[in-house]
Amino acid sequence: AQSVTQLDSQVPVFEEAPVELRCNYSSSVSVYLFWYVQYPNQGLQLLLKYLSGSTLVKGINGFEAEFNKSQTSFHLRKPSVHISDTAEYFCAVSLPSSNTGKLIFGQGTTLQVKP
Amino acid sequence: EAGVTQFPSHSVIEKGQTVTLRCDPISGHDNLYWYRRVMGKEIKFLLHFVKESKQDESGMPNNRFLAERTGGTYSTLKVQPAELEDSGVYFCASSPAGGVASYNEQFFGPGTRLTVL
C-alpha cells in the first residue's frame, strides 16, 4: 500500500524568507506526485506535479519541488515567501497503473507567513 | 467557467439523522471524486465516478454511505444514519475525460463541513 508523510504539521516563517515543506512517500511501485494548496474557505488547488522527466518541477506562484527517487521524497520549496502564501499545503501521490486516479494524501502542512 | 461547487457549505445534524451532500462538477468533466477529511487526519479517498458509473468505491467506510451520480452530472453523497465519527469535511473533485486518470489535474470544491452531534 502507498502512504505519504508530511513531516511538519506547521511551519512558521517570516516574509521574504525561504521555505521548504517536506514530503516523503512509501510505495513499492512508481507513483505520480502532486502538491496541492488550500487557501482559507477555498478548495484545493494544484501547485505542481511530477509525472516523469526532469526531477525539478516548477509550479505556480514561484514554488518548485524536487523528486528524489532514492530518498522517496518530493519536497516543496520557495526562495522567498509572501504573506499571501499562508495556507495549508498537501502532498499527494497517485498510481500510474490505476484506472481511477485517486489521490493518496499526506496529513497537510500549515504554512504561516509572518510579517 | 464555474468551478466545482458543493452544497451545503456547513451542516450540523444529530446522530441518527440523514444528510445529503451535493457536488456539481465542472461542466463536461466525466471524472468525479469524493474525499473526506476527519479532523486532524489526512484527506482520504471515498469513491470515483466516471460519468454515472462507480469506477472505484473502495474508500467508502460502510453501507451507511450512498453515492449517486444521476445522468453523469451532479453527484450526491447520503449518510444514513449519521454517526459521530462521520464528522469532517467532505470534498468533491472533478477532472476531464481522456488521457490517464491518474495524472489529470483534479479540481476541488470548497468542501462541506459536516458536524454530527
pLDDT at B75: 98
What average pLDDT does the segment B10-19 reach?
97
User: Is 60 exceeded by the pLDDT of residue B23?
Assistant: yes
Compute the distance between CA of residue B100 and CA of residue A96 in angstroms, rounded to an integer.
8
pLDDT at B103: 63
**pLDDT tens per residue, range B62-108:** 999 999 998 889 999 999 999 999 999 999 999 987 666 556 789 99
What average pLDDT does the segment B3-12 reach?
96
User: Contact A101/B108, CB-based, under 8 Å?
Assistant: no
Compute the distance between CA of residue B32 and CA of residue B22 in angstroms, rounded to an integer.
12
* Assigned C-alpha cell, A55: 526531477
The closest CB to that of A102, out of B45, B107, B109, belongs to B45
Q: Which residues of A touch B100 (CB under 8 A)?
A: 96, 101
Bin A39: left if φ > 0, else alpha if -120 < ψ < 50, else beta.
beta
User: Is 80 exceeded by the pLDDT of residue B11?
Assistant: yes
Superfamily of the domain at B5-98: Immunoglobulins (2.60.40.10)
User: Contact B42/A101, CB-based, under 8 Å?
Assistant: no
Q: Which residues of B touch A36 (CB under 8 A)?
A: 108
Residue B5: what residue type? T
Residue A67's domain is classified under what CATH number? Answer: 2.60.40.10
Strand pairing of B112-116 and B107-108?
unpaired
Across chain B, mean pLDDT equals 92
Compute the distance between CA of residue A51 and CA of residue B102 in angstroms, rounded to an integer.
10
As for how many domains chain A has, the answer is 1
Among B residues 3-32, those touching chain A with beta carbons less than 8 Å apart? 3-4, 31
pLDDT at B99: 62
Instruction: Tell me the shortest Cα–Cα distance from B34 to chain A, in angstroms.
Output: 9
Interface test with chain A among B106, B107, B113, by most A beta carbons within 10 Å: B106
* Assigned C-alpha cell, A66: 524536487
pLDDT at A19: 98
User: Three-state DSSP class for A60?
Assistant: helix
Compute the distance between CA of residue B80 and CA of residue B82 in angstroms, rounded to an integer.
5
Could you identify the residue written with the cell 461542466?
B27
Question: Taking the domains of chain B in order of start, what are their residue ranges?
Answer: 5-98
- pLDDT < 50 regions, chain A: none
**pLDDT tens per residue, range A12-30:** 999 999 999 999 999 988 8
Instruction: Tell me the shortest Cα–Cα distance from B80 to chain A, in angstroms.
Output: 25
Give, in order, the Cα–Cα distances in Å from A113 to each of A11, B51, B57: 8, 41, 38
Give, in order, the Cα–Cα distances in Å from A3 to each of A23, A25, B46, B116: 11, 6, 16, 28
User: Is 70 exceeded by the pLDDT of residue B32?
Assistant: yes
pLDDT at A3: 93
**Cβ distance B19 to B79 under 8 Å?**
yes
* Structural domain span for residue A77: 3-114
